[in-house]
Structure formats: C-alpha cells, structure tokens
Structure 1
Amino acid sequence: MALDKPYLDVPGTIIFDADQSRKGYWLNQFCMSLMKAENRARFKADEKAYLDEWPMSEEQKRAVQARDLNWCMRTGGNIYFLAKLGATDGLSFQQMAGSMTGMTEEEYRNMMINGGRAIDGNRYVGEDGDAQEHRQPQGGK
C-alpha cells in the first residue's frame, strides 16, 4: 500500500524519504566512503574506476561525475552525504548550495542573509496565488 505523500506537491523540492533512501543507498554509501583520505585519493586519481566499484546506477555515476547535486538528489542522494563529495572537491556547503540554485556563492550568501527566497510560488505546485486553503492550521483552529 503506497503512502500518501502530500509533500510531493512542493515545487523544486526533493524530500529524502524511505523511497529516496532505497534508491540512493549505494550513492550515499559511496559518498560516505569519501570520509577516508585513502578513498578520496583513489577517487580523485580515477573517478570512473572508483565509481565502478560501487553498485550504483549508471545515471548516478554520471550525476556524480557531472557534479550535478540536484541530479544526484533526484537519483536518491542525500545532501548530507553529498557534502562529502563537495568537500572532496574543496567546496564549502555554501558553494554547493549556490551551485544547486544556479547562483554564485556570493549571490546565494546574500540571498540567505536577506531572508532567503520569497515564498510566493514556492509553497505548492497547485498554489493558486493565495493558497489560503494550504495555510489553514490543521486540527480545527
């Protein structure tokens, strides 16, 4: 029996749930392997050979090689595991987040300092502009 997943209606958001966890298990295990210096060295020396040691899908391997974190997340990657990949490349989490939003690190930092993204159009895919029905508290209040 499939679970109801109302969070799938949030635009541009990939929720790391049980299904994503199963899909990305080996991708995330690969990322965790990068916590060891010898594994980082082996990966940097020959990325394809190191990736081929892991039973990931070819799409996941291509996403890693492209360093496309959004693509990695769509294939089951969890950002906290993917941070190990970024660190292997010498990137800060802020630099990684900027790359995921199409912004430079400075643009991303300034956006966050100024309160983050506007919520308009970012609440629900089916949002009607007002989205009043989505903002009503649950439980009768």
Structure 2
Amino acid sequence: MSYLDNPTPIPGTYFFDGKMASKGYNLNKMCYTFNDKQAREEFLKDEMAYCDKFGLSDVQKQAIKNRDVIGLLEAGGNIYFLAKFTGILGLNMQDVGAIQTGMSVEDFKAMLVKAGE
C-alpha cells in the first residue's frame, strides 16, 4: 500500500492535496500575512475582524479563536502557513509537533533526537 492509498497514516497529520488547498486558501492567505509585523498587530487588535477580512469560514474562525491547531489543519491549513499563526501564540514547530502527536514537548523532542541517531 502506498502513501497515497492511505493519506493519513500518522494520527494528527492531514494530507494536503488540491482539495485541502482549496478548502484552506483563505486561511493560508491570511496566515501568510503574518510575515509582516503590522499584520500581526492588526490581527491581535481584533482577531475576528481580521479573519473576516480574509473570508474565513465559521469553522476556521472558531479554530482560530480556540487556538486549535489540529482544527486548522483539518480546515485546510498548511503547516508552513500555520507556523506564522502559531508563532503569534509563542509556539514553535516542536510545540506543534507535540500537539499533533499528543505527546509532551519533551517527549516529542526526545523522539526526534532518537530518530536522528
């Protein structure tokens, strides 16, 4: 069985294909703007107004409000763009990986070190 036959072999991961790209286009477009300090400040001033500016769905807005990274992935978020959002929250990629796998950050980091040996 190939990866494409089973696109979500690891719990907490989502296969980002054309359908997901379309689903998450507005979300990812918004997250891309967080490269700019002024955009981050505007977002933090009124998060839901900023989400509305980009036409996020109700599901996406609720996930933003709840800081639900897994929900954002399910809603079409691309991890590379979501990293911009999670950076606003003070999270790094190890934090997000721990969230995705249901591990503590320390256990997730230890798993990465072990995998690299």
List, as ranges, runs of 4+ consecutive aligned residues in structure 1 with deviation greater than 4 Å: none
Q: Does 1:10 align with 2:9?
A: yes
- Give the structure-2-normalised TM-score: 0.86
Cα RMSD of the aligned pairs, angstroms, is: 1.7
Residue 27 (structure 1) aligns with: 27
**Aligned sequence identity (%):** 36
Instruction: Answer with 75-84 or 102-111: which moved more.
Output: 102-111
Instruction: Give the TM-score taking structure 1 as reference length.
Output: 0.72
Q: Which runs of 5+ in 2 are unaligned?
A: none
Residue of structure 1 equivalent to 2:83: 83
How far apart, CA to CA, are the structure 1 residues paired with 2:93 and 2:8?
26
AA aligned to 1:73 is L
Paired with 1:60 and 1:77, the residues of 2 have a C-alpha distance of 9
Could you list the runs of 5+ residues in structure 1 that have no partner in the other structure?
117-141
* Equivalent residue, structure 2, for 1:100: 100
Conserved 8 A contact 1:7-1:15: no
**Higher Rg:** 1
Deviates more, 1:43-52 or 1:55-64: 43-52
Tell me which moved more, 27-36 or 106-115: 106-115
Map 1:29-68 → 2, pairs under 5 A: 29-68=29-68
Are the equivalent residues in 2 in contact too, given 1:94–1:105 (CA < 8 A)? yes
